Structure 1
Amino acid sequence: MLFFKNDYGQGCIPEILELLEKANHTDNNGYGQDNYTKKAVEMLRSKMPDTDTDIHFVIGGTICNQTIFKHILRPFEAVISTDTGHIATHETGSVEATGHKVIIIPNAAGKLTAASVRKVFNDHMIQYEHMVYPKAVYISNSTELGTVYSRKELEELRTICNELNLYLVMDGARLSSALMSGVDYTLNDVAKWCDVFSIGGTKSGALFGEAICITNPLLKPYFRFDLKQNGAMLAKGWLLALQFIGLFENNSFYTIGKKENDLAQEIQDQALELGYPLFMRSETNQIFLVINKSELEYLKERVDFEIWDYWNDDIVVRFVTSFATTHEEVEYLCVYLEEAKNLNKKEQE
C-alpha cells in the first residue's frame, strides 16, 4: 500500500543516521550543555545573522507550543489563532491546559490576517479586564491547509503586532516547505519578524525535534526553567542537536522541503486534470482533494491517507509527501486516482 498519510511516518534522512552512529559512543554533558548542541545552535544562528537569537531544542511540536505560551504569557493573557491552527485543533487543549485561552477566529485560506487581529483585539478591549487580554498572535507557516504566508502578509502582521504590543509567534513545523515554496524571504527574515518561532525537524526528515528560536530580548530570560518544569528538557539533549546538524550542515532542510513540494505539486496538478476538485490550493507538501464515496472506497484499499473533513455528500482527503516519498510512488498514486475516477464514471453511466 502506498503511504501518503503524513510527513513523519518514516525514520530520518541518512545524514542523521550517520551522525547518530558516529556519536553513539561519545561522552556528553546532559540537558543541552554538550558540544553537539553548541554546534547546532551556531549553525542555526548563521542562517539568521541579523538577529540575536536564543535557540532551544525540544522533542516535538505540542510540547514546543505549550512551553512557549506558558513562558511568554501572564495568567490573564491569551493567544489569537485561526480555527485551523494546530494549537486550536490537534493539540488536545495543551495551551489552554496551562491556563491561557486560545481566541479562535475564522481562517482566510488557512491564514490569519492583520485586520482580523485588530478586530479581535478591539473586541476584547470593550470589556477590558472582564475578558482575557490578547497578547500573542499564533500563525503556522506553512499552514495546516498547505498555504504559505507572503512577505506582505507577514510584514502586515508584524506591523499590527508592533502597534498593539503583541507577540508574533510562528509555528514552523513545516517551515522547510514554506521557505521552499517560492516565497521571497528567508529564515533570516522570519527571525526579524517573529518574537518567537520554531523550526520543525520532525516533519522535515529528522527522527524528532523542533528548535525554539527566541528573538525578543524580553522573552529570553529563564526560558530553561520553563523547559525543565514543562518536561521539555531532554537529558540526552545531544540527540536533538544531531537532528539539526544533519538537517542544516549540508542544507538538507531546504532540499527536502523543495522535493516534498515538487512531488506534491505533481499530484495536485494531475488530480486537477482528472477532474478532482481541490478543497484548498496548496503551495506545499499537503494536498487536499474532494472525492466521493465510490472514489474513497477504491483509493483506501490502495493508499494510506487521511480523511480531513466532510463536504456535503463528499469527503475531503489529505495526501502528504515526505522526505521518503519517491517519484515512482507519486506515479502510482496518480494512476490510482485516474482509475478511481474512471470507475466512478462507469458507475454513473
Structure 2
Amino acid sequence: MKYWFRNDYSFGAHPKVLEAVCAANLEGNIGYGDDKYTDRAKDRIREVCGCPDAMVEFLAGGTQTNVVACAFLLKPWEAAICPHSGHLNGHEVGAFEATGHKILTVEADADGKIAPDQLVPLLELHKDPHLTKPGLVYISNATENGAVYTKAELTALSEFCHANGLYLFVDGARLGCALASDANDMTLPEFAALCDAFYIGGTKNGAMFGEALVITRPELTDGFFRMKKRLGAVMEKGWIQGAQFLALFEDDLYFKMGRQANQMAARLQAGLKAKGWRLWVESPTNQVFVIAPNDKKPVLDEVCQYEDWCPYDETHTVVRFVCCFHTGEADVDGLLAALPNLD
C-alpha cells in the first residue's frame, strides 16, 4: 500500500462539493458564468472577505489565475517583482513572461517570504527608463515553502507597495491552510484589506478545480472579462465553479479543510522528528519538508507518494510531503510506522 503525500490535489473533491455539483448537474444553467450559482458564490465571497465592491472572477487553476491577473494589472512595459522561489517565477514555464511581461526576482529566505527593504535596490535600479518598470509585487500565502505572512509583515509590504506605486498581488493557492494556520494572526477581511488582488485557492483545498480571483479595488477591474476571454480562461460551464465555491464557504468548510490539512502535517512533522528525521524548514501549514538520506529513499518510494524538492548535499535530498482535506491520522501514523528510525 502506498500512502499519498505527493500534493494536495491527488484526491478529487470534498463530498459536500461533489454533492453541490451533482445537485445542479442536470437542471440547466446559462454558460460563461452568467448563472445563479456564480452570482451567489461571488456575493458570498465578497461577504466573507468584507469587500462588498470587489470584483470576483473564477478561473480553473493557479497558473492560469496568476498569468491572467498579473498581465491584466500591468501596462505593457511593466514587470512583476517576485521571490525567486515564487510560483510565478519557478514553476510556470514562463507562462507569465509569454504575455510580454518581465519577472524581476528577489532572493527570499528559506521560508519563501520577502520584505520591503529587499525591494528598494530593485526600484532604484529600474528608475532607468530603458528598463522595465516594476508594477506589482507577487507573493504567495502560504509560500511555496509552507510559511505564512503575519499581519505586521503583510501590512509593511502593502504600505511599501502603495507608497511606491506598486500593486500587491497574493497567490492564494494555499490560502485556506495559511489562514487556518496557528502562525496566522489575520482574519480573511483583514488579509483582503491589505491586498489589491488575491485569489482563494480551491484546487488545493477541497474543490475539483477552481480559484476565485478577488480584485479589491473596483477602479482596476474594467475590461477584466475581455482579458480573461482573450487568454482562453473563460469556462463555458462556469456554473460548476459557482456551485463548488458556494459549498466551500458553507458552514466554514473551506477553513475546516485547511485546519485538517495543517493538523495532519503537524502530526507528521512531530512524528518524523521523534524518529530522528531532520526538517529542512519548520512549516506551520500543510507542507512538510524533510532532509532525507539518499540511502533511505528506496523505503520512501516503496511506502508513499512524495516529491523530491531540491538537493541538500551529496548524500541527502530535501523531500516534500503534503497533507490535504482527505489526509487522516491513519495515513500519517501508517507512514510513520513504515519509516525507520534515524540516529
Matched residue, 2:272:
271
Q: Please tell me the residue identity of whatever aligns with 1:173.
A: A
**Shift in Å at residue 48 of structure 1?**
2.0
Q: Please tell me the residue identity of whatever aligns with 2:69.
A: I
8 Å contact from structure 2 (residues 151, 191) kept in 1: no
Q: Please tell me the residue identity of whatever aligns with 1:10.
A: F
Give runs of aligned pairs for residues 51-130 of structure 1, distance below 5 A: 52-108=53-109, 109-125=111-127, 128-130=128-130
Matched residue, 1:146:
146
Give runs of aligned pairs for residues 1-349 of structure 1, distance below 5 A: 1-50=2-51, 52-108=53-109, 109-125=111-127, 128-182=128-182, 183-313=184-314, 314-337=316-339, 339=340, 341=341
Q: Deviations over 1:75-128 (max 9, x none)?
A: 110000011100101111111000110111111221111111222112222xx1
TM-score normalized with structure 2 length: 0.97
CA distance in 2, matches of 1:184, 1:117: 24
CA distance in 2, matches of 1:24, 1:264: 34
8 Å contact from structure 1 (residues 51, 192) kept in 2: no
CA distance in 2, matches of 1:61, 1:70: 14
CA distance in 2, matches of 1:166, 1:51: 23
**Shift in Å at residue 142 of structure 1?**
0.2
- SS of aligned partner of 2:321: strand
8 Å contact from structure 1 (residues 7, 203) kept in 2: yes
- SS of aligned partner of 2:123: helix
Task: Indicate the percent of aligned positions where both proteins have the same amino acid.
Answer: 38
- Give the root-mean-square deviation of aligned CA atoms: 1.1
CA distance in 2, matches of 1:63, 1:219: 19
CA distance in 2, matches of 1:115, 1:130: 24
Q: Deviations over 1:292-342 (max 9, x none)?
A: 1111111111111000000112100000001111110100111123x2x35
8 Å contact from structure 2 (residues 280, 289) kept in 1: yes
8 Å contact from structure 1 (residues 53, 213) kept in 2: yes
CA gap of 1:38–1:173, structure 2 versus 1, over 3 A, is same
Q: Please tell me the residue identity of whatever aligns with 1:74.
A: K
Q: Please tell me the residue identity of whatever aligns with 1:286.
A: Q
CA distance in 2, matches of 1:279, 1:130: 41
8 Å contact from structure 2 (residues 169, 198) kept in 1: yes
CA distance in 2, matches of 1:123, 1:277: 40
Q: Please tell me the residue identity of whatever aligns with 2:237.
A: K
CA distance in 2, matches of 1:134, 1:312: 36
- SS of aligned partner of 2:126: helix
Task: Say which structure is richer in helix.
Answer: 1
CA distance in 2, matches of 1:256, 1:16: 12
8 Å contact from structure 1 (residues 51, 188) kept in 2: no
**Shift in Å at residue 218 of structure 1?**
2.8
Q: Please tell me the residue identity of whatever aligns with 1:45.
A: R
Gaps of 5+ in 2: none
- SS of aligned partner of 2:119: helix
CA distance in 1, matches of 2:47, 2:58: 16
